[in-house]
Structure 1
Amino acid sequence: MIYMVESIGLLPVFLVTIAVVLLLIPLICKSRHCTNYVNYIAISSSAVAVIVSFTILLHVVNNGVTTYFLGGFRPPLGIVYTVDTLSALLGFLSMTILLFTVLYSTWFIVSKWNYLYYSLLFLMATGSIGCFYTGDIFNLFVALELLTLSSYGLVAFYRDNPRAITAALRYAISGTIVTSLYFFSVLLIYSAFGTLNMADIALKTRDPIAQTPFSHTVPGDIVFASKIALSIMVWVFLFKSAILPMGFAWQPQVYAEAPVPIVAGFTAIADSVGLYLFMRIFNTVFGGDIIPALSSFRTTLFNFIQVVASVSALTSALLMTVERDVKKFIAYSTISQFSLAFLGISLDNNYGLTSAILLIISNTLGDAILFYISGVAIAGCGRSVICLATVRNNKYALLSLVTAVLNLFGIIPVLVGFWAKALLVLAGIERSIIFPIAVLVTSGITAIGYFRLLHISITSRVVLRDDRRLRNTIIPLFLVLVLAVMAIILGLCFALYEQFREFILSISIELTSNYREYIDKTLQS
């Protein structure tokens, strides 16, 4: 029990330590085998991270919300990690994709600078875990900074490519502005609430006269400060998850120029952070039963998000139908899927939240398959969608590609993507007939893009160039098969096993209704 609580705090430390160790390898090792040593360390370390995050998930499922306070200082004075089922699940998903990214990178990345590459990757994973686990809005800012700064470096890894540098600069400039705005919102909340702890803020949004140790009662106007802060945070979360109009400022260019393994990992490790924070802030901290003055403003923001998310989903779906660059195609697909997830959250019911969680999972699996197959195509031909014909003669790769497309489209009940879309339609029906229509229209338009991709992959012919990576494609083929099987297993489990279905649904119920446990276990820890 004590070990499991300690592992929550040790996981980010472990990831940072590995990042530092990888930087020291060239100083210690001078032989030509150093690159292999770096690969071995990265693989073994990411595997350990997966195991630790999975044990944390099991612990939270069996024991409820778990807290770990850094430095021994109890909240709200000290920084605390507060892990519930949602944060533990997304943390495990993030670490799983970290392992897959490392494995794929050992095949795809051919560079003497691989130690820098893996170091930045582990720093990005550290920031991701920090965002998922933290219960402190300022510590969240620190984790976001670590996540974004390492992302900029990874996007610019191909520093001889001017387009990669341009994409990284665009991402860095817009990201710096957005994170600065988040920091300003943190200052506003602190000035009004007198605390940075999420549980403490959550308590006082529901009972402004409540007193807690150190922070006592609220010292300022929480209504005015919260309205400004939440308005800013919404744009921050939209940017992190690349929703229109914020996403079009960076994501297509970043996805096009960053290394394939990195963009495959972005969905779970980086981009899903915006969705998670939107769920956390607007349910646990500023949930539906907050004081009336804030509750009405929260509803207004949700109405705004519903419009933005619907327009974003439709726009990106239309762009999918004409895009010829395979990496940009996947970028627009991601924007469309995450826009639907934002729509689900803003519908403010349990079905909507559950659909958002499933959309994160299904899009993570589908994106990874598409990018891993695209990596083979890029090595053999180029970035054009036509180059996906590179894998047409490999039945396992082609089967995985079909699985990914059907999963993202959400039409086959044996795939997890179907249940994500089905729950989103049910969530929309509870609010208005407009929302299920928007979901179905968006899905229909994306189907044009997805099946166009499949048609080109099956019918086109390409001339392969000589690339030594194509001599052995066991690693990418193994990974896409595993991911395809995972999508099928999750879909079948949701369809056939009531216990699994109830577990997924309970995550959203815990998020919306059991905020009291989150508050009590944090402040009374």
Structure 2
Amino acid sequence: MTTMPTAADLLPLLPELVLVGGAFALLMLDLFLGESKRIVTHLLAIGLLLAAAWLAAAGVGGHGTVLNGMFVRDPMSDVLKAGSCLLTALALVYAWPFLRQRGLYQGEVAVLMLFAVAGMMLLISAGNLVMVYLGLEMLALCSYALVAIDRDSPLASEAAIKYFVLGSLSSGLLLYGLSLLYGATGTLDLALLRGAIAASPETTLLLTGTVFAIAGIAFKFGAAPFHMWVPDTYQGAPTPITLFIGSAPELASFALAFRLLEGGVGPLDDRWRLLIAGLAVASLVVGNLIALMQTNLKRMLAYSAVSHIGFVFLGFAGGNAGGYAAAMFYVIVYAIMSAAAFGAIIVLSNQGFEADEIDDFKGLNARSPWLAAMVLCVMFSLAGIPPFLGFWAKLAVLRAAIDGGMLWLAIVGIVCAVIGCFYYLRVVKVMYFDEPVGELVPRRDRPLQVAFAANALALLVLGLFWNPLMTWCQQAFSG
């Protein structure tokens, strides 16, 4: 017999309760604000995200398992929740001038992002298959609406439809896999699921459910060969929305993979590690080779995202606490780099000019040496060139793969990292060695330029002082 939770029992849910309560309050407040005062909703949303990030990072409310095991708050969840909130706050900073200039900004943008983060936080702390699906769909439904925010753009509408259809397919695959796992074990609780698998002999039903669950995870990550939604969605969505869906949700996808694979079907790791290794190879090869051929910067970044998911999977394939810490470190680093890369497009865009072609960056150094230097920091970090942060992330997952007995996988990763350098350095080449073409006038929005500079310079500063972040990730799995 279950008992009703008390206020003390709900303390681990404090960041989520604050965020959801604040989101409903902002939704009501926006009804009474005119167009000229919409900045109030926007700033309050950013403040709310920063407050939720602090509550998570500081451990306010304490750790524990509540709601009859459905919700688990632990050190790993605190790190990922703080990261998700901070990245979404950064996305809102980038979104304001871009969407306002195009007449696309509505109060719903900030509120949808808040509810999407709430879904991420539930997914990150899921201790039950029902909570996994609840958090996932809450995130997905908000993301579909955000991609379709520009209703007058045929490209955005097409991207939203493709994202919705393929996202629904991936949700169906995942749900089918979860139902098979429940059918094989008779429990929805992830901890009990793991115990039942360890105690029972292998069954075809169990393995089939694991395969479908991994397919659903790969869809949500955008890993090859389940990546078909990524390039069209990234290109078609307004750039600040692309920045959001390409950064913060990756942290929730990592939590989804960890909770299901290690927390749920961990005793089958000798099987699913090979599947993850295969997805890593496919993502690295497909992502890097197709990115080489792109002329549109957003599509190039989309295919590079597929290759970066391959690197995340290197850590998972390595297994053990060190591999998971390396994978979490990588996904956090990638989210920061992705935000900076799309931030560069936003800073250089103006009304009627999207700056989303690689050729749009020609001669940028001659026009704005400071912005060219910031974009260089972003591209060098994405390429994994020392001492930038991306180098240490790649090194961590490669080491995890080797420690996990997968030297061949690490070699594939190294080769693909070298290939990836080419298309990132091509952007640097057009900025510094090509003649300017057309009129490229960077935005004069001071907050936007400060945010982009801080985002880009963080890749260099954190690259020089990366140990605290890596230690934080390792401590999340030390228990």
Superposition TM-score, scaled by structure 1 size = 0.82
Q: Deviations for 1:109-131, whole angstroms, at most 9, x for unmatched residues?
A: 11365212112111211111111
Aligned partners of 2:459, 2:75: CA distance in 1, in Å? 20
Judge conservation of contact 1:124–1:269 (CA < 8 Å) in 2.
Answer: no
Q: Which residue of 1 aligns with 2:219?
A: 239
Q: Does the alignment pair 1:336 with 2:314?
A: no
87-96 or 266-275: bigger deviation: 266-275
Aligned partners of 1:391, 1:137: CA distance in 2, in Å? 49
Q: Which residue of 1 aligns with 2:425?
A: 451
Structure 1 segment 47-446 matched on structure 2, within 5 A = 47-56=50-59, 66-70=63-67, 74-75=68-69, 80-110=70-100, 111=103, 113-207=105-199, 223-247=203-227, 249-287=228-266, 290=267, 295=268, 298-379=269-350, 380=353, 382-389=355-362, 391-392=364-365, 393-412=367-386, 414-430=387-403, 431-446=405-420
Q: Does the alignment pair 1:474 with 2:446?
A: yes
- Paired positions, count: 467
Q: Which residue of 2 aligns with 1:521?
A: none
Judge conservation of contact 2:148–2:156 (CA < 8 Å) in 1.
Answer: yes
1:146 to 1:435, Cα distance in 2 relative to 1, 3 A: same
1:228 to 1:44, Cα distance in 2 relative to 1, 3 A: same
Aligned partners of 1:504, 1:4: CA distance in 2, in Å? 28
Q: Which residue of 1 aligns with 2:18?
A: 14
Q: Deviations for 1:319-363, whole angstroms, at most 9, x for unmatched residues?
A: 222211111111111111111111321132444333312221221
Q: Residue type matched to 2:459 in 1?
A: A
SS in 2 for 1:82: strand
1:68 to 1:107, Cα distance in 2 relative to 1, 3 A: farther
Judge conservation of contact 2:239–2:342 (CA < 8 Å) in 1.
Answer: yes
Q: How big is the shift at 1:4? A: 9.7
SS in 1 for 2:263: helix
Displaced runs of 4 or more, over 6 A: 2-5
Q: How big is the shift at 1:59? A: 7.6
Aligned partners of 2:181, 2:276: CA distance in 1, in Å? 22
Judge conservation of contact 1:351–1:424 (CA < 8 Å) in 2.
Answer: no
Q: Residue type matched to 1:443 in 2?
A: A
Q: How big is the shift at 1:465? A: 6.8
Q: How big is the shift at 1:68? A: 4.5
SS in 1 for 2:58: helix
Aligned partners of 1:381, 1:33: CA distance in 2, in Å? 25
Aligned partners of 2:447, 2:336: CA distance in 1, in Å? 16
Q: How big is the shift at 1:460? A: 4.0
Q: How big is the shift at 1:32? A: 4.1
Q: Does the alignment pair 1:37 with 2:40?
A: yes
Judge conservation of contact 2:30–2:41 (CA < 8 Å) in 1.
Answer: no
1:344 to 1:179, Cα distance in 2 relative to 1, 3 A: same
Q: Residue type matched to 1:99 in 2?
A: A
Q: Deviations for 1:7-60, whole angstroms, at most 9, x for unmatched residues?
A: 54133333333433343345323x44332222232222222222222223x887
Judge conservation of contact 2:292–2:423 (CA < 8 Å) in 1.
Answer: yes
Q: Deviations for 1:67-115, whole angstroms, at most 9, x for unmatched residues?
A: 2424xxx34xxxx321222222111110010110111112221136521
Q: Residue type matched to 1:183 in 2?
A: L
SS in 1 for 2:72: strand
Aligned partners of 1:390, 1:33: CA distance in 2, in Å? 37
Judge conservation of contact 1:377–1:389 (CA < 8 Å) in 2.
Answer: no
Q: How big is the shift at 1:158? A: 0.8
Aligned partners of 2:363, 2:57: CA distance in 1, in Å? 36
Aligned partners of 1:225, 1:281: CA distance in 2, in Å? 16
Judge conservation of contact 2:223–2:283 (CA < 8 Å) in 1.
Answer: yes
Q: How big is the shift at 1:193? A: 2.8
Q: Which residue of 2 aligns with 1:493?
A: 465
Name structure 2 gaps, 5 residues minimum. Answer: 1-5
Superposition TM-score, scaled by structure 2 size = 0.89
Q: Which residue of 2 aligns with 1:217?
A: none
Q: How big is the shift at 1:366? A: 1.1
119-128 or 447-456: bigger deviation: 119-128
Judge conservation of contact 1:46–1:102 (CA < 8 Å) in 2.
Answer: no
Q: How big is the shift at 1:409? A: 1.6
Aligned partners of 1:478, 1:6: CA distance in 2, in Å? 38
Q: Which residue of 2 aligns with 1:462?
A: 437
Q: Which residue of 2 aligns with 1:216?
A: none
384-393 or 356-365: bigger deviation: 384-393
Aligned partners of 1:337, 1:485: CA distance in 2, in Å? 21
Judge conservation of contact 2:96–2:105 (CA < 8 Å) in 1.
Answer: no
1:428 to 1:158, Cα distance in 2 relative to 1, 3 A: same
Q: Which residue of 1 aligns with 2:3?
A: none
Q: Which residue of 2 aligns with 1:518?
A: none
1:191 to 1:41, Cα distance in 2 relative to 1, 3 A: same
Judge conservation of contact 1:358–1:416 (CA < 8 Å) in 2.
Answer: no
Aligned partners of 1:40, 1:381: CA distance in 2, in Å? 25
